[in-house]
């Protein structure tokens, strides 16, 4: 089962009894094994990590945001300098998000059928983002996968607001397709419809007619909780084409990722590993640890011997505790390297489990160990 | 000409017609080529850089501070975890400063012949630092080179204050020698005496009788200006033993380093490369550049093609400008890597020039190019 857009091709390799799937995406900058976690380097930079360090964590694709790069430094500059891969020295696949999520999160904006007018919160400059100029910005950046410009409503939006946004997203999806000029980039469609079953069904049914090379579910992980998210995934994912990559945006914690994979999702992204790292929360197979805690002051062991990151290989928990206590920038760097390594190792284990038809067992085993520490403090 | 303390040995290899010297220091963690610039990782961590990145910049020795490590996490913890080299994963030579400079910079402290009583400015806890416990802390840390506990007066101190401090420093030097228990560590003496010729002469003459394996000049680069510093160096350095390493503490800018080398100094340390990097000032052979400036927004060239750091090899000035404008932590990392690389490359050029008896020409050529940009903005 294959679907290609020039250099873009998705191959579904195996489906586990639970419905969890593993596959491979080929892009102009190399292949991606799915299910895949995509680390986020919002403004064309991983926070507190070099791209070389990201590569050493076995990252396969990085996510960046056209919205932020549109405001600073401007996507035309990046195009002139040879595109985003070269600009940030990352020569593996990149996915850019359209900025829909960010623009609709702004406190003040003016939404019309044309697009969204808003002010740069730092400079006060007025900007306008539309399906056409979001795609044009993403064409400038040259990511391997780009995203349609969608309207995302908050998790607590009522049904009429969710319906309006889903309709607009569909209309804009058409305009994004027409605006898309660089056929080396795969443009993914985004489904909206919040937590409402009929809206999701209608939205996905219509989006499918547009024949995008991949589909994302937007408007999840926006405060609805894992049970609701799981329910929405269970309705929505079976409607998506089997032979195309399926991406759920903005997740998440390891438990969210397991839930998404089980429902048949192939791709996910989140700022959690790097943001948590900066606040001193490190992921281990034994659960999350708060490394600033006094219990680690004398701890001579690595953060996690199973997620054997550069950080775990070379430093003790006591050293990390010291760095966080001293507010050293290096704390953020070593913490981020560890957490990204953990997430990449985790999805590798998931892929292996799927290939061996034991995803259900893997999920139970993982959660048993992982939730132990969090339960007992 | 050689001087050894167990595994510590200094070999003077060449003296250029100007008096600039090149040599080699052997330590338990390997050799150091002199003249050498020592990057500063105050609290047992380079700011915004991993030790692996520091190694890639060709750093040969790192300076850390016993004062900071005494307060946080406590040097006994580091000893228990195997010493500072292992704690911070730096397996080349380390020099620890005693904390004299830091303690005497505190606004409130109580100085007696015994030592200095002060409060931890963060926690309010009371601490006491003396020659004995500074050396004991440094014995715990296990650096290859450790420093005597001295009293450093401000640059504008009057002569009577400078005299008192120089005398106390001498008294304390004796006590440091007696307290020093780990003969794998070379304990250097520190001369004080501010900018007063007779005080310096007296102080160095007395210190020499104690036969330290190396000598430092303290109390310089504390606001006296390069001309005054140069004058003090010209009186002081000829008094120091020829066959022992000579270290001037806390310098500095490239022009200060050239001045110190010309006077016959072998070692220097400063926070300038990393601190300047964090504020967006990058060193190049064409002068310092303020990378946040709008003039670099579209600049497709590396920071410096001659100081060909990881940063220069992989990123444009436009990318760095973007990182600084976006307040990305990565800006501090890439800036620090570049600046440290520049300083290490600079002292390598100095060593080569000395070996080829052309230090005087090198200095002129360097300053001509380096001051061009700074003159013309």
- Range in A22-31, A103-112, A286-295, B136-145 the model is least confident about: A103-112
> What pLDDT score was predicted for residue A107?
85
> Measured between CB atoms, which of A68, A87, A326 is closest to B319?
A87
Give whole-number Cα distances, B114 to A59, A282, B106, B107, B331, in Å: 56, 44, 18, 19, 45
User: What kind of fold does domain A2-270 have according to CATH?
Assistant: TIM Barrel (3.20.20)
> What pLDDT score was predicted for residue A6?
67
- Whether the ω angle into residue B149 lies within 30 degrees of 0, i.e. cis, is no
Active site residue A97: yes
Coil, helix or strand at residue A64: strand
Smallest Cα–Cα separation from A367: which of A268, A259, A233?
A259
User: Which tokens go with A168?
Assistant: 């607009």
Residue B195 Cα, gap to closest chain A Cα (Å):
35
User: Which tokens go with B173?
Assistant: 């030097």
Chain A environment of B50 (Cβ under 8 Å): 310, 330, 333-334
Interface of B with A in 65-94 (CB under 8 A): 68, 72-73, 77, 80-81, 87-89
Supply the mean pLDDT for chain A.
95
Q: What single DSSP character describes residue B12? A: E
Binary contact (B328, A43; C-beta < 8 A) = yes
> What pLDDT score was predicted for residue B42?
97
> What pLDDT score was predicted for residue A23?
98
B44 inside 8 A of chain A by CB: yes
Active site residue A256: no
Q: Is the pLDDT of residue A354 over 70?
A: yes
Catalytic residue among A16, A256, A269, A304: A269
Alpha helix (H) ranges present in B142-220? Answer: 159-179, 197-209
Coil, helix or strand at residue B50: coil
Smallest Cα–Cα separation from A92: which of A148, A46, A147, A135?
A46
Binary contact (B77, A298; C-beta < 8 A) = yes
Catalytic residue among A16, A97, A140, A304: A97
B45 inside 8 A of chain A by CB: yes
> What pLDDT score was predicted for residue A5?
52
Residue B302 Cα, gap to closest chain A Cα (Å):
12
Q: Which residues touch B179 (CB under 8 Å, ≥6 apart)?
A: B131, B132, B135, B136
Smallest Cα–Cα separation from A259: which of A336, A178, A360?
A360
Q: Which residue of A has its CA nearest to B335?
A: A50
> What pLDDT score was predicted for residue A210?
98
> Measured between CB atoms, which of B46, B49, B322 is closest to A44?
B322
Best residue of A291, A330, A331 to probe chain B, by most B CBs closer than 10 Å: A330
Smallest Cα–Cα separation from B233: which of B263, B261, B206, B208?
B263
Q: Which residues touch A349 (CB under 8 Å, ≥6 apart)?
A: A362, A366
Residues facing residue A184 across a β-bridge: none
What one-character-per-residue DSSP string does A311-334 give?
Answer: HHHH--HHHHHHHHHTT-HHHHHH
Q: Which residues touch B291 (CB under 8 Å, ≥6 apart)?
A: B280, B281, B282, B303, B317, B320, B321, B324, B335
Binary contact (A319, B81; C-beta < 8 A) = yes
Map tokens 């926690």 to a residue: B123
Could you give the residue range(s) of every CATH 3.20.20.105 domain in chain A?
2-270
Burial code of B260-289, b = ≥16 C-beta within 10 A, e = fewer? bbbbbbbbbbbebbbebbbebbbbbbbbbb
Summarised one tens digit per residue, pLDDT across range B132-190 is 999 999 999 999 999 999 999 888 889 999 999 999 999 999 999 999 999 999 999 99
Give whole-number Cα distances, B97 to A317, B63, B239, B297, in Å: 25, 7, 23, 40
Rounded to whole angstroms, the Cα distance separating B237 from B94 reads: 24
Higher-confidence residue of B156 and A366: namely A366
Rounded to whole angstroms, the Cα distance separating A116 from A136 reads: 15
Number of H helices, E strands in chain B: 15, 17
> What pLDDT score was predicted for residue B66?
96
In percent, how much of chain A has pLDDT > 90? Answer: 88
CB count within 10 Å of CB B137 equals: 24
Give whole-number Cα distances, B289 to A176, B280, B303, B309, B337, in Å: 42, 8, 9, 15, 15
Q: Is the pLDDT of residue A222 over 60?
A: yes
Higher-confidence residue of A157 and B330: namely B330
Summarised one tens digit per residue, pLDDT across range A104-130 is 888 889 999 999 999 888 888 899 999
What is the interface pTM, i.e. ipTM, of the complex? Answer: 0.96
Confidence of residue A374 (pLDDT cuts 50, 70, 90): low
Residues of chain B scoring pLDDT < 50: 1-4, 376-377
Higher-confidence residue of A261 and B125: namely A261
Please report which helix (H) or strand (E) contains residue B223, including its range. none
Confidence of residue A72 (pLDDT cuts 50, 70, 90): very high
Residues facing residue B289 across a β-bridge: B282
What's the pTM value of the predicted model, to 2 decimals? 0.96
Binary contact (A89, B315; C-beta < 8 A) = yes
Q: Which residues touch B69 (CB under 8 Å, ≥6 apart)?
A: B43, B44, B75, B78, B84, B96, B137, B141
CB count within 10 Å of CB A270 equals: 22
> Measured between CB atoms, which of B47, B80, B333 is closest to A50?
B333
**How many contacts (CB atoms, under 8 Å) link A and B?**
101
Confidence of residue A375 (pLDDT cuts 50, 70, 90): low
Q: Is the pLDDT of residue A331 over 70?
A: yes
């Amino acid at each position: 089962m294959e679907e290609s857009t020039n250099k873009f091709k998705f191959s579904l390799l195996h489906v586990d009894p639970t419905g969890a799937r593993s596959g491979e995406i080929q892009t102009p900058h190399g292949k991606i094994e799915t299910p895949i976690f995509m680390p986020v380097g919002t403004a064309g930079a991983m926070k507190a990590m070099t791209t070389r360090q990201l590569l050493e964590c076995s990252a396969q694709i990085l996510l960046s945001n056209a919205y932020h790069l549109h405001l600073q430094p401007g996507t035309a500059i990046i195009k002139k300098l040879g595109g985003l891969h070269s600009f940030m020295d990352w020569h593996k696949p990149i996915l850019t998000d359209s900025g829909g999520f960010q623009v609709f999160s702004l406190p003040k904006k003016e939404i019309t059928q044309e697009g969204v007018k808003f002010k740069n919160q730092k400079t006060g400059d007025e900007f306008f983002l539309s399906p056409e100029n979001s795609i044009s910005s993403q064409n400038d950046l040259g990511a391997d996968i780009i995203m349609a410009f969608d309207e995302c409503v908050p998790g607590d939006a009522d049904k009429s607001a969710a319906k309006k946004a889903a309709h607009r997203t569909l209309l804009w999806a058409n305009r994004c397709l027409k605006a898309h000029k660089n056929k080396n980039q795969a443009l993914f469609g985004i489904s909206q419809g919040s937590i409402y079953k009929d809206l999701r069904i209608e939205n996905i049914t219509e989006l499918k007619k547009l024949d995008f090379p991949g589909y994302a579910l937007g408007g999840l992980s926006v405060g609805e909780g894992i049970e609701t998210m799981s329910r929405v995934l269970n309705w929505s994912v079976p409607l998506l084409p089997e032979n195309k990559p399926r991406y759920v945006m903005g997740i998440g914690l390891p438990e969210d990722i397991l839930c998404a994979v089980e429902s048949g999702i192939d791709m996910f992204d989140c700022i959690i590993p790097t943001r948590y790292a900066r606040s001193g929360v490190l992921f281990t197979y034994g659960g999350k640890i708060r490394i600033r805690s006094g219990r680690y002051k004398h701890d001579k062991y690595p953060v996690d011997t199973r997620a054997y990151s550069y950080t775990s290989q070379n430093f003790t928990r006591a050293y990390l505790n010291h760095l966080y206590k001293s507010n050293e920038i290096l704390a953020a760097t070593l913490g981020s390297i560890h957490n990204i390594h953990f997430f990449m190792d985790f999805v590798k284990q998931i892929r292996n489990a799927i290939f061996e038809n034991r995803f259900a067992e893997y999920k139970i085993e993982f959660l048993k160990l992982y939730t132990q520490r969090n339960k007992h403090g």
